[in-house]
Amino acid sequence: METRTLGRQGLKVSALGLGCMGMTFAYGPAADRRQMIGLLHAAVDRGVTFFDTAEVYGPFNNEELLGEALAPVRSKVVIATKFGFAPDPADARRWTAVDSRPEHIREVADASLRRLRVEVIDLLYQHRVDPRVPIEEVAGAVKDLIRAGKVKYFGLSEAGVASIRRAHAVQPVTALQSEYSLWMRTPEETVLPALEELGIGFVPFSPLGRGFLTGKIDEHTQFDSGDFRNGNPRFSAEARRANRALTEVVADIARAKQATPAQIALAWLLGRKPWIVPIPGTTKLPRLEENIGAASITLTRQDMQQIEAATSSVKIHGARYTEAQERMTGL
């Protein structure tokens, strides 16, 4: 697989990464650990070098999974993790409060190093902007970790342009991670132009719309009781029914290109900018191989224009998050 460079600091990664959250968190019960270790090894064997996790995924056991699986191939991979949440004092299973105090950042970094079984964290993101802590203090804390040799590169997640600029002035931001796909295009308005200006890479999470853009989900799909999509406005039965209009458009384009809808959705992202690296997640080897296949699809300028014309008239129904979750983003 070809490589891409995130940021001006020289971080090189595979054109497609692997989002690992769903292996242990958010989409129902954790997948079988041995199978996920096998899947991670399969990803490395197929050229994936960029793996995304966070302390809150699980919490903790996602980092531990990657630490065990990737230890034998440490020199071949780039591991990104995140700080910025704290457990609810009343319920350790709930991590809804943001916490980016410098002392907490240092604690999280040390704990992540142990769980990941690494000597240095390749890319450390602030998971969500903390309104109580000036972003300059956050960037300064990560800068100290970089100077100490515990972190290589600094990233932000779901941050707005003002926060990105202020953080970047203290410690260069290598990558911004935010949701971006054919059904969530908000970053195009102000974020992408700012990233291009500042030389910051972009890592879209949920590039397949949490599975919806594969075309395999409709209003009749039943999710596991522990799947967070059950409470997501965009995944209400009514929204899914209405949003099928988008998947039908993507499916038509995919048939013309002899590809799958998922591959077209990913290839579209890869075609947007050379510094965009999507991180689709999966727990299944066939889906991993399908997603990786998107890196071999070249969309021409005419193809990109066709996709733009075909999808621009489709209105997306349902908010991407609940109101409480949306308040925790900076977009």
Q: What is the pLDDT of residue 93?
A: 67
pLDDT tens-digit readout, 112-121: 999 999 999 9
**pLDDT(234) > 90:** yes
Q: What is the pLDDT of residue 221?
A: 97
CB 326 within 8 A of CB 319: yes
pLDDT tens-digit readout, 143-176: 999 999 999 999 999 999 999 999 999 999 999 9
Q: What is the pLDDT of residue 117?
A: 98
| Residue 329 within a domain | no
Q: What is the mean pLDDT of residues 187-208?
A: 98
| Residue 247 within a domain | no
Going by pLDDT thresholds of 50, 70 and 90, the confidence category of residue 137 is very high
Concerning whether 153 is annotated as a catalytic residue, the answer is: no
Higher-confidence residue of 105 and 329: namely 105
| Residue 196 within a domain | yes
Residue 213 CA to residue 229 CA, distance in Å, equals 14
Q: What is the pLDDT of residue 92?
A: 62
Residues 6+ apart with CB under 8 A from 132: 98
Q: What is the pLDDT of residue 238?
A: 97
CATH number at residue 17: 3.20.20.100
| Residue 225 within a domain | no
Q: What is the pLDDT of residue 327?
A: 80
27, 57, 125, 180: the catalytic one is 57
Q: Which helix (H) or strand (E) holds 290?
A: helix 285-293
Residue 138 CA to residue 153 CA, distance in Å, equals 13
Question: Domain range for residue 277?
Answer: 3-211+272-297
Angstrom CA distances, 97 to 116, 204, 278, stand at 23, 23, 27
Going by pLDDT thresholds of 50, 70 and 90, the confidence category of residue 30 is very high
pTM of the model: 0.97
Q: What is the mean pLDDT of residues 40-44?
A: 98
| Residue 227 within a domain | no
Q: What is the mean pLDDT of residues 5-20?
A: 98
| Residue 330 within a domain | no
**pLDDT(42) > 80:** yes
Q: How many CB atoms lie within 10 A of CB 137?
A: 16
| Residue 222 within a domain | no
Q: Which helix (H) or strand (E) holds 19?
A: strand 18-19
For the chain, give the percent of residues with pLDDT over 90: 92
| Residue 252 within a domain | no
Residue 145 CA to residue 226 CA, distance in Å, equals 36
Query: Structurally, how many domains does the chain consist of?
Result: 1
Q: What is the mean pLDDT of the chain?
A: 96
